[in-house]
Amino acid sequence: MLYFYQPEISNGIHQLVDEEHQHCTKVLRKGAGDEIGIFDGIGGKYKVCLTEVTKKQSTFEIIQSEQIPAKTFYNHIGIAPTKNTERIEWFVEKACELGVDEISFILTSNCERNKLRIDRLEKKAVSALKQSKSGYLTKINELTKFKDFIVNSPDQKKYIAVVEDNLPYLGAILKANTNTCILIGPEGDFSPDEVQMAVGQGFVKTSLGKSTLRTETAGIVAANFVNLMNLY
């Protein structure tokens, strides 16, 4: 079944509009009487039937609904944006498909980009929701200064991936069923001052392995480590 995104369905909004409507009716040629799926991004999964299709919207009625159970862990990745926009978008798409719950972009001293199109990244998250059928939309946060992020980071298991010898391997120290926050630095890594600052705020230095990874690759590796730990 083909799925679409309507976050207000539980509030009685039973229409697809804008891009979701266009994709449903213009690209996929769905019309009145056709059945489609809807995700609301917070675990709601619906089977609906289109009742009316106009130029501006598709109206539907709910046939069946269910609530997808939430995971027993929360995976938050804070990552420095890459200079190349396509690499950022690739990371967001794949991280969302892997079930990362929240992505924050952090402005570090070695960061190569200080502006982001969050609206474009949010669209990638919606696309990944429909692709993965996880039921939960990844939260995408605006670019935040490194210091502000680590000071305001919630109380949870916190890690900072650093290129340094003799650090514990992330896959060996993660705990199952635990909320985690993992920091991924830019191509030039975090500065020594940033690492020290993070450690002072409760972050544990960790390694992602012997290979030196690109930023977006490191983010995906970290995301998958959390999934493997939780057999997700």
What is the pLDDT, as a whole number, of residue 232? 54
Q: What three-state secondary structure class fits 230?
A: coil
* Cβ contacts of 79 within 8 Å, gap of 6 or more: 91, 103, 104, 105, 106, 183, 184, 215, 216, 219
Q: Which residues, given as ranges, of the chain have pLDDT below 50?
A: none
Angle ∠(29,33,36) on CA atoms, nearest 5: 65
Amino acid at 12: G
Distance of CA 164 to the CA centre of its chain: 27
Give the pLDDT of residue 155: 74
> Which secondary structure element, helix H or strand E, spans residue 216, and what is its range?
helix 215-229
92, 124 Cβ separation under 8 angstroms? yes
pLDDT value, residue 188: 87
Backbone angles phi, psi at 9, to 5 degrees: -60, -35
Give the chain's mean pLDDT: 95
